[in-house]
Amino acid sequence: MGSIQKSRVLIVGTGGVGTMAAYALETGGKADVTAICRSNYDAVTKNGFSIDSLEHGNGITGFKPSHILNAVPKVAEEKLEPFEYVVVTTKNIPDVRPSVLDIISPAITAGVTTVVMLQNGLNIEKPIMKAFPDNVVLSGISFIGATETSLGVIRHDDNDSVKLGPFPDQAVSPERAEKAAKRFIDLYTACGKVEWAYDEDVKFTRWRKLVYNSSYNSVAAVLGMDTARMRMSQIVIDDLVRPAMKEIITIAKAVGVELPEGIDDKLIRTDPTDTAFVPSMGQDAAKGNYIEMENIVGEPVREAENAGVSAPTLRTIYGFLRGIQLKTKEKKGLWQPKFEDGNPYA
């Protein structure tokens, strides 16, 4: 019997989301996965991943994707077979180099590789589409709960459900983009344990997710507070979270995206209140990591400006987030506290 030709998939970023993607793809049997591991490289090459998963089972030990590398391969230079898909699950922090484009470019074969962006925020696809106009770029909005609790140890405690579809306004044909999306969904769901759906309206899905992310995520980063306490305090919802949500809804409408009536009420109450859940940006800020503020708050603020829409709450939150980011950059040696040319406050 001839073996089926497996799809070559590169996963960039193997924290919780990336590892669960690698596991689903490998166990489905239709993909040959190369995983890029950075901080967890030594732990994973030695012992593999240990996974406790809501969908795949608990006590999985020693899982290793087909290939583990500690840097993105240079496909053309190393004369490697092209990747059919490059899946990006890293944080998207365009204000800190290297950018996502810098990181993934060496692995992309022009006209061949489809880029799957399982990341939050607005306009994340633009640099990729500009650099690789003949490649399909897919948007994946992930609702998975998966965390790397220590190096190579993954806790997956909320369903892996993703809406995947092509970003709008690509140079490639809609038919080709749709085919690439549906093929990836087939590869991913072959494991039989997860439910992924084709996304007919990527723009809508991204703006809808922003209603939660730009408000709860941002406020968690600024205040260091979990979402249950925000709701119990009431003032945080009334003065920060809800006004930020309302502004996103208004900006979305100005750019042609009608979000459902009452979406703010629904998303305000979406998290459980019996646990102290801190959204990812809050976790990153607490750890002293860079935060994903540009695509989650900066881009909506810029869209508001372009559309002539007022967004005072988001603009203020964005100011706080930029300040937090600057403190992190200083700690990591990326910013020197000195007056730059043109600073009027010198």
CB 69 within 8 A of CB 34: yes
**Which tens digits make up the pLDDT trace of 131-162?**
999 999 999 998 888 889 999 999 998 888 89
C-alpha–C-alpha distance, residues 146 and 17, integer Å: 6
* Angle, vertex CA 46, rays to CA 41 and CA 48, nearest 5: 80
* Angle, vertex CA 134, rays to CA 130 and CA 135, nearest 5: 85
Q: What average pLDDT is seen over the chain? A: 96
Dihedral angle computed from the Cα positions of residues 112, 133, 13 and 321, in that order, rounded to the nearest 10 degrees: -170
**Which tens digits make up the pLDDT trace of 18-60?**
999 999 999 999 999 999 999 999 999 999 999 999 999 999 9
Q: Give the residue-averaged pLDDT of 283-291.
A: 96
Q: What is the pLDDT of residue 159?
A: 86
**Which tens digits make up the pLDDT trace of 118-131?**
999 999 999 999 99
**Would you say residue 316 has pLDDT above 90?**
yes
Nearest CA to 83 among 24, 36, 129, 141? 36
Domain boundaries, the chain: 7-200, 203-331
**Would you say residue 2 has pLDDT above 60?**
no
Q: Give the residue-averaged pLDDT of 203-213.
A: 97
CATH topology for 7-200 is Rossmann fold (3.40.50)
Q: What is the pLDDT of residue 273?
A: 93
Q: Give the residue-averaged pLDDT of 229-242.
A: 98
Contacts of 72-77 with CB under 8 Å at 24 or more apart are: 72/10, 72/12, 72/36, 72/103, 72/104, 72/106, 72/107, 73/10, 73/34, 73/106, 73/107, 74/106, 74/107, 75/106, 75/107, 75/108, 75/109, 76/106, 76/109, 77/106
Give residue 222's Cα distance to chain centre.
Answer: 20
* CATH class, 203-331 region: mainly alpha
Q: What is the pLDDT of residue 3?
A: 61
**Which tens digits make up the pLDDT trace of 260-270?**
999 999 999 99
C-alpha–C-alpha distance, residues 223 and 10, integer Å: 36
**Would you say residue 61 has pLDDT above 80?**
yes
Give residue 221's Cα distance to chain centre.
Answer: 17
**Which tens digits make up the pLDDT trace of 77-116?**
999 999 999 999 999 999 999 999 999 999 999 999 999 9
